[in-house]
Amino acid sequence: MSALRFRGVVLPEGEPRDLYVVDGRVTYEPQPSAELVAEGWIVPGLVDAHCHIGLDEHGAVPEDVQERQALDDRDAGTLLIRDCGSAADTSWIHERDDLPRLIRAGRHLARTKRYLRNYAHEIEPEQLPEYVAREADRGDGWVKLVGDWIEREAGDLTPSWTRDSLEQAMKVAHDRGARVTAHVFGEHALPDLIHSGIDCIEHGTGLDTGLIDTMVANNVALVPTAKQLNNFPGYADAGEARFPKYAEHMRALHARRRETIGAAYEAGVAIYAGTDAGGVLPHGLIGDEVLELATYGLTPEDALGAASWRAREWLGLDGALTEGTAADFVVFEQNPLEDLRILKQPRRIVLRGAVVA
């Protein structure tokens, strides 16, 4: 394969350089015969840390739809996806060099009749460790729990699991080298999840100061899915006739969402960008998610880092584009740190050393 040359400012370092791609790897050693492909601002491949390849609002989708979802994400500059729960087997994507790198969390684990139909293994607390072991072995190092959902008798969000079942489940996952994350909208499920040793919280709109401090101390990450939080009023409207208490609760969580997530950011919780694509939201929204995160108080550098170099490191890949790292990056015509809207207009996308878009 002939060498490729890219010229521009390489983020996050911010240094103007000539970057070369040889055999799928980055090098800064001059390659005299290299073709100049693009100039601009060069950003390590974008990351969607909460995405659902293989799902739509009704459940699992076939492989041709999975492919389209992955391509939509890739063409938006997302080159690494943490698939945060899918009812479909998407492992075949690992064999496709033209599709984003995929880290699968297996299928959601939820309480019986307390989650979206056709999405999850629906089980009871005493079964949780067994199913965590199963999904840890099936996935790529993550397991996804549904931490809370509407409980019909209560008419509101309630915790899905007992503290004992969570503590056993965390040990099972960690013994297998897997990390655990959980969907949580409300307040009441969070203490047991965080104190039992969970690694990440999704959404997190029910956090308070004490739990935020514990997250910092225990290195628990947060993926707010800021675009998804904008749907809370719609969920409240849809549930109001049957569950008025839930509807009121969701509106309250929505009203203080920026204060809540902003407090976590100010306290030093590690925050990463995730679109929650694949259910009600379309794929390819990573630029919109970063823009939304910035409205929660994140600096442009932190908002972009949450969807690029910092997220890559968190998920076990190279963050910065240093000598010898995988050539996964996006070139933008303008500096995205001066205007995050440019993230929605990638100029060139390079994945595994090949220009794919």
Among all chains, which residue has been given the structure tokens 């739509």? 56
Question: What phi-psi label fits residue 300: left (phi over 0), alpha (psi between -120 and 50 degrees) or beta?
Answer: alpha
Maximum Cα–Cα distance across the chain: 71
> Which 3-state string (H, E, C) describes 301-314?
HHHHHCCCHHHHHH
Calculated CA dihedral for residues 281, 284, 287, 288, nearest 10 degrees: -20
Q: What are phi and psi of 136, to 5 degrees?
A: -65, -40
- How confident is the model over 162-181, as pLDDT tens digits? 999 999 999 999 999 999 99
User: CA 138 to CA 357: how far, in whole Å?
Assistant: 31
Pairing of strands 148-151, 120-123: unpaired
Q: Which residues have a Cβ under 8 Å from the Cβ of 51 and sit 6 or more positions away?
A: 73, 78, 81, 82, 83, 84, 274, 275, 276, 277, 278, 283
User: CA 237 to CA 37: how far, in whole Å?
Assistant: 50
Given a contact cutoff of 8 angstroms between Cβ atoms, the answer to whether 48 and 320 are in contact is no
Q: Which CATH number does the domain 46-314 belong to among 3.20.20.120, 3.20.20.70, 1.10.10.60, 3.20.20.140?
A: 3.20.20.140
Residue 332 Cα to chain centre, angstroms = 22
Using DSSP, state whether 277 is helix, strand or coil. Answer: strand
Query: What stretch of H or E contains 350?
Result: strand 348-351
Token pair, residue 123, equals 């089980």
Helical ranges in the chain per DSSP H: 63-75, 128-138, 163-175, 190-195, 209-218, 226-229, 232-239, 244-255, 257-267, 286-294, 300-305, 309-314
Given a contact cutoff of 8 angstroms between Cβ atoms, the answer to whether 169 and 209 are in contact is no
Mean pLDDT score, 114-141: 97
Given a contact cutoff of 8 angstroms between Cβ atoms, the answer to whether 268 and 218 are in contact is no
Is the model's pLDDT at 86 over the cut of 70?
yes
- Strand partners for 183: 146, 202
Mean pLDDT score, 143-166: 98
Q: The sheet that has 348-351: what strands, in order across it? A: 25-27, 15-22, 4-10, 35-44, 329-332, 348-351, 354-355
pLDDT band at 325 (very low <50, low <70, confident <90, very high): very high
User: What residue segments make up the domains of the chain, in order of their start?
Assistant: 4-43+320-355, 46-314
The share of the chain scoring above pLDDT 90, in percent, equals: 99
pLDDT band at 2 (very low <50, low <70, confident <90, very high): confident
Is the model's pLDDT at 1 over the cut of 80?
no
Superfamily of domain 4-43+320-355: Urease, subunit C, domain 1 (2.30.40.10)
- How confident is the model over 15-73, as pLDDT tens digits? 999 999 999 999 999 999 999 999 999 999 999 999 999 999 999 999 999 999 999 99
- How confident is the model over 271-308, as pLDDT tens digits? 999 999 998 999 999 999 999 999 999 999 999 999 99
- How confident is the model over 252-268, as pLDDT tens digits? 999 999 999 999 999 99
The share of the chain scoring above pLDDT 70, in percent, equals: 100
User: CA 326 to CA 352: how far, in whole Å?
Assistant: 6
The average confidence (pLDDT) of the chain is 97
Q: Considering the entire predicted model, what is its pTM?
A: 0.97
